A and B are shown apart, each in its own frame.
Chain A
Amino acid sequence: MRFLLRRLVAVPLTLLGVSVLVFVTTELVPGDVARTILGREASAESVARLRGQLGLERPLPARYADWLGGFVTGRWGESYTLRVPVRDLVLDRLSASMLLAALAFALLVPVAVTLGLVAGVNHDRPMDRLVSVTGLALGATPEFVTGVILLVVFAVRLRWFPASAKAPDGSSLLARLGHLALPAFSLVVLCTGYVARHVRAGAVTAIESPYASAAELRGLTRWQVVRRHVLRNSTISATSALGVQLQFLLGGLVTVELLFNHPGIGALLLSSAVDKDLPTLQATAMVLGLLYMLIVLAADVAFRLLDPRIRLGAAS
C-alpha cells in the first residue's frame, strides 16, 4: 500500500520533470516560430504581430507557467498547422492509437505466453532453440522492416489484408480491426520474442524447481504440473517484462503508424515535430509521457498483486 502511494505521488512529479524537458526543448527550436507559421513571404510587421499574439516576447519561465497551467486545465491551444483545437486532435488520435495498441496487446499476451511455455517445457531441445532464436531475431528487427515484409507478403502478394490502416469512414469495428491487422502484427512480432523469453525463463525455473518435482512425485502428469505450478509462476515473473514491452509497443507506434498511414498519436508526434507545430508537439509528448508512466506503474502494481511474497511482505 505504501508502495502504491509512493509511486502515485511520483507520477505527477516525474510528469513535471517531463513537462520542463518538453517545454525547454521545444522552445529551443532554431528559427522563428512566427516566421515558420506565416511563411517566407510574410511581412516583418505581421511576423512581429504574431509574435506578440503568441506571447513569444515574454520571459521563458512565465511562458512555461502559462503553458503548464493551460495544459493542466485542459486549454491546450490551437494547432499552428491544422488550425484545430489541439485537445480534440490529440485525443482523437490517441483513441485511434489505443485501438491499435489494444489489438496488438490482446494478440501479444497469449502468443508470447504460449511460445514461452512451449520453449520452457522443451528447454534445451530443438523446439526451445527455434522459439528462442526466432524470437530474439524478430525482436531485434525494427518494426518497419517486419512491417514492410508483412506488407509485401500479405497485402501485395496474397491480398489477405489491406495495406493501409485507414478504414473507410463508417466501417464496422470488424472491418476497422481488419485494417489494423498488419500494423498490429508488426508490433506483436517486435514484442513477442522478449516476453516469450521471460516466460520461458520463468517456466524453466519453475519446471526445475523442487516444488514441481515434488508435484510430479505425487503422481501428477507433466501437463498438470505445468497448468498448476509452472503457468502461474512463469507469468508472474514475466509481468514486469510485459510492462517494458508495452512501453516498447508505444514507441513502435510512431514507426508503424507512419508506415501504415494510421492516423494515431505516434504519427502526430512525428508530423508535429517535423512541422514545428509546437502546441501539438508539446501536448502529444505530455500525453505519451503520462501514458508511459501509467504503464510502468500498472505493470509494477500487477506484479506486486500477483506475487504473494511481495504482496504480503518478507518472511515473518
Chain B
Amino acid sequence: MSGLRVEELSVAYGGKVAVNGVSFTVAPGQTYGLVGESGCGKTTIGRAFGRQVARSGLITGGRIVVDDVDVLGLSPAALRRWRAEALAVVQQEASAALDPTMRIGTQLAQALRARGRDRAAARQEVPELLERVRLPDPAAIARRYPHQLSGGQQQRVVIAAALAARPRLLVLDEPTTGLDAAVEREILDLIGELRTELGAAVVLISHDLGLVGRLCDRVGVLYAGRLVEEGPAGKVLSDPAHPYPAALLASTPGLGRNRRTHPLTAIPGHPPAPGEQQDGCSFAPRCPLADDLCRSTVPTLSTAPDGSTAGLHLVRCHHPGQTAQAVSQPEPLPEPQSAASRSAESDRRPESAVSQPSPLPPDGGPLLEVRGLTRRYGKTVAVDGVDLVIRRGEVVGLVGESGSGKTTLARTVAGLGGRGPGTITLRGRPLHPSATRRAPEQRRAIQMVFQNPYSSLNPSHTIRTILTKAARSLGGPLDPAGLAHEAGLDAHVLDARPERLSGGQRQRAAIARAFAGVPDLVVCDEPVSALDVSVQAGVLRLLDDRQRASGTSYLFISHDLAVVGYLADRIAVMYRGQVVEQGPAEQVLHGPHHPYTAVLVGSHPPAPPGQGDGAGTGCRFAADCPSRVDGLCDTSVPPVRDLGQEHVVHCHLDPARLPHRAQGSTAP
C-alpha cells in the first residue's frame, strides 16, 4: 500500500510514556492534521517520522510504514538514504532551521547534494527551488544569509530545502507559528499549492484548529499521548464526538465571537504531564461527562455513532457524541485525589459565578486620552502621531502585527515607554511619561498585565508577598487571599513561589496584582499569547469577569484578531506606527473596513510579497495593499473617512468601495 501508515506507535522519554499506541493512515496526496495542546505528544510523533526523537526518548513500539518501507526497521545507512530520498520535514521556527553562518544558496545546494545531485546540478537547481516557493529575485536571495531575510522568506527557504527531495512523506510541524497573520496566509497558500504538486502524504502538526480545518482532509486529535478522536476534518472540527475536542472548540475564540453574546467555556484543570499515571480515560479529570467507568477503564477507539459517510470516524470515549452536555456545563469539578497534582498546579476556577451576559457596552465618559503620541527608537518611529480615547468601563482592543507599535503605545500609556512628543491625559490631567514620576493616585489608576507569565512575577517572592506589596503601594485593601480568590486561585497557591505555578495560574496572579488597587484602566499586553487554548479561555473569562465586576477599562493588545474581537468593545488597528482604523468592534471586524484590516480578518488576499518597503510619502500600507491606486496611495497621505458611530478609516478609497467580509463567511 502506498502512502503513510502509522501502527500502534509508542514513544517514551526516560520511561515516561509520551505517545501511546497511535495509529492512522494517510494516502498519497492527502493531508492529515494532528492537533492537540502542548505536551500532548504531537511534536514527538512528528520527530518519530524521521526517527529523530530526543536523546532521552525511545520509540518503544509500533511501526511507521511509508510506501511499503518500514522506517523504524531500517539500518542506519538505509535510514539516511530513505531520509534523503523520501522524507521532507518543515520544522517550527524557520529562523533557527537555517545555519546562520551559511548563505542561502549554499545551504540549498547542500540540501540538493544530500539528495544525490552532483555539484553542478545542485548549483543550477537552487534558483529553480527558490522560484518554486515564489521568492522574487532568486539570485539575490541565494547570496544572502538567513538573518538578512524576513520571517516569511526564511520559512519559504525552509520549505524549498524540503522540496529538494521528491518526498513521499511531507511533515509540517507548526509551519506558521510566530509569523504575522498576513505572512501566515501566504505560507498556507503556498503549502496548499505545493501539496497538490507533490502527491506526497502530508502530515500537518498544529495547535491551531482553524489552520488544520482549512488545510486537512482528515484530523487526529491527541490528548495525553493518545488519539482520542479521528475522522474527516469537516466532521471532527464542527461536530466532534469526543468531549475534549468539543471543549477545545468551545474555548477557542473565533472571529465574530464576543464575550457578550458567545462567552467562552474554559476547560478546567490542565492536561496530565507525560508519564503521569492515570487509571481510566486520561481526560476524565477534566470531563463533565466522566463517571466511574471513565475513571477506571481506558476507553477503546471505536466507530463514532454518527453514521458519517465521508470516511471512517473513530472516537475514544465511553459516552461518545454527548458533547452538547460536555460544553454546556462549565462548572468546575471536584479536586483530583492525587496529592501530587494538588500541590502542583491547577487552572480551575473555584468561583462558579458565570456572569450574566450584558448585551450592550457601558457608555461612560472619556477616561484616558492620547493625543499626537510619537515615540522613536533611534531612527525607527515606533509610534507615529497616534490619537486614541478610552472611555470609562470600555475595553479597547489594539491589533497589529509585530513591529506595528502597539506594544510601544501600550507601554507608554502604562508609564513604561520612553519620552517623546504628544500627550496622555487621565480624566483631563496630564500623565508623566514615567510611571515612577506619576502621582500615587495616577499609579493606582493605571496598571498592567504583561505578556510573559514566566517573567512577570518575581521568582524570589511568594504570591502572597507579591499581592501584599501591590496592595500596600497602590492603596488597596490588604487582602491577598481575597485578591487570589477573585482571580480564581486556590488559597494554597498564596504561599508558593511562581516557579510552582502553571502558566495560567501565573497569569491569574498577575491579574490579581493589577487589580490590587482597584484600577481604572488595565493595560493588557498579549496576556494570553503564551498560554494553551484551554487555559487561555479561562484567563479571558477571568478578565471578562473582573471587568464587569469592577467597571475597569482595558487597553487590550493582541496580534490575534479573534482574541481581541472577543473582549473588545472598540478596536483600533495599527500598522507601522499609525492607527489606520478604529471603531466599534463589530463594525471594524465585519467592515466595511481598511484594506489592511481586511487582510487581517482574511477576507482579502494580501498583495504578492516583496513589492516595496512602504517608505513612501503616502499611505504606509500602499506597497502591500491589494486595492492600491498607483500615483495616489503611494504619494499622498490618506484622508480620514468617517463611517459613522465613531468608526474612522484612514484610506483613499471611497467608503462605498472599502472591503468587507462576505456575508455568512465563517471564522477561519
Contact = CB atoms under 8 A, between A and B. Distances in A.
Q: Do any CB atoms of chain A lie under 8 A from CB atoms of chain B in the complex?
A: yes
A306 B102 CA distance: 11
A309 B145 contact: yes
B8 to A, nearest CB: 23
A236 B96 contact: no
A211 B98 contact: yes
Interface in B130-166: 145, 147-150, 158, 161, 164-165
Interface in A203-250: 209-211, 213-221, 228-229, 232-233, 236
A217 B148 contact: no
Contacts of A221: 80
B258 to A, nearest CB: 37
Contacts, number: 78
B93 interface: yes
B111 A315 contact: no
Contacts of B96: 209-211
A219 B88 CA distance: 10
A307 B147 CA distance: 11
A315 B114 contact: no
A211 B149 CA distance: 16
Max chain A C-beta neighbours (<10 A), residue from B52, B99, B115, B145: B99
Nearest to B164: A218
B100 A213 contact: no
A316 interface: yes
A233 B93 contact: no
A308 interface: yes
Contacts of A307: 100-101
Given A216-B52, A315-B148, A228 B110 contact: yes
B18 to A, nearest CB: 18
Contacts of B149: 315
Contacts of A312: 145, 147-148
Given A218-B114, A308-B101, A213 B91 contact: yes
Contacts of B115: 218-219
The prevalent SS among residues of A at the interface is helix
A229 B99 contact: yes
A72 interface: no
B147 A314 contact: yes
A211 B100 CA distance: 9
B101 A232 contact: yes
B69 interface: no
A217 B111 CA distance: 10
Contacts of A236: 101
Interface in B76-132: 80-85, 87, 89, 91, 93, 96-102, 110-111, 114-115
Contact of B81 (A210, A219, A229, A308): A219
Nearest to B98: A211
B99 A316 contact: no
B145 A217 contact: no
A233 B99 contact: yes
Contacts of B84: 218-219
Nearest to B107: A211
B114 A219 contact: yes
Interface string A282-310: 00000000000000000000000011110
B91 A214 contact: yes
Contacts of A219: 80-85, 114-115
B50 interface: yes
Nearest to A229: B99
Contacts of A306: 101
B324 to A, nearest CB: 42
Q: Closest 4 A-B residue pairs measured CB to CB?
A: A219-B84, A218-B114, A219-B83, A210-B97
Interface of B: 50, 52, 55, 80-85, 87, 89, 91, 93, 96-102, 110-111, 114-115, 145, 147-150, 158, 161, 164-165
11 contacts: A209-B96, A215-B114, A216-B83, A217-B83, A217-B87, A218-B111, A228-B110, A232-B102, A306-B101, A307-B101, A312-B147
